[in-house]
Amino acid sequence: MLHLEKIQEAKKRIEGVVAQTPLAYAPYFSEITGINIYLKKENLQITGAFKIRGAYNKIASLTQEEREYGVVAASAGNHAQGVALSANLFDIKAVIIMPESTPLTKINGVKHYGAEVILAGSNYDEAYEYALQYGKENNLTFVHPFEDEDVIAGQGTIGLEILDKCQELDAVIVPIGGGGLIAGISTAIKETNPDVKVIGVSASGAPAFKESYENKKPIDSTSVRTIADGIAVRDTSPITLEYALKNVDKVLSVDDEEIASAILYLLEKQKLVVEGAGAVGVAALLHHKLDELKGKNVAVVLSGGNMDVTLLSVIIEKGLLKSHRKMKVTVTLVDKPGSLMRFTEILQELNANIVHIAYDRTSTSLDYGDANVTVHMETKGKEHQDEIHAALKKEGYLRD
The reply to whether 53-142 shares the fold of 4-50+148-317 is yes
Positive or negative, the CA dihedral 202, 208, 209, 210 is: positive
Q: Which CATH class is domain 53-142?
A: alpha beta
pLDDT of res. 190: 98
Q: With contact defined as beta carbons under 8 Å apart, do 179 and 209 qualify?
A: yes
- For the chain, which residues make up each domain, given as ranges? 4-50+148-317, 53-142, 324-394
pLDDT classification of 148: cutoffs 50, 70, 90:
very high
pLDDT classification of 222: cutoffs 50, 70, 90:
confident
Our separate counts of H helices and E strands in the chain read 16, 13
The residues facing 25 across adjacent strands are: 38
The CATH superfamily holding the domain 324-394 is ACT domain (3.30.70.260)
Query: Model confidence over 42-82: pLDDT tens digits?
Result: 999 999 999 999 999 999 999 999 999 999 999 978 999 99
Instruction: Write the DSSP assignment of 251-294 as a string of letters.
Output: EEEE-HHHHHHHHHHHHHHS-----TGGGHHHHHHHTTS-GGGT
Query: Model confidence over 306-326: pLDDT tens digits?
Result: 988 889 999 999 999 999 999
Query: Model confidence over 235-290: pLDDT tens digits?
Result: 899 999 999 999 999 999 999 999 999 999 999 999 999 999 999 999 999 999 99
Residue 194: exposure state from Cβ atoms within 10 A (0-12, 13-18, ≥19): exposed
Say what percent of the chain tops pLDDT 90.
88
What does CATH list as the number for 4-50+148-317?
Answer: 3.40.50.1100
pTM: 0.90
Q: What is the mean pLDDT of the chain?
A: 94
pLDDT of res. 1: 85
pLDDT classification of 400: cutoffs 50, 70, 90:
low
For residue 193, is pLDDT > 90?
yes
For residue 169, is pLDDT > 80?
yes
Residue 264: name the closest of 273, 255, 256 by CA: 273
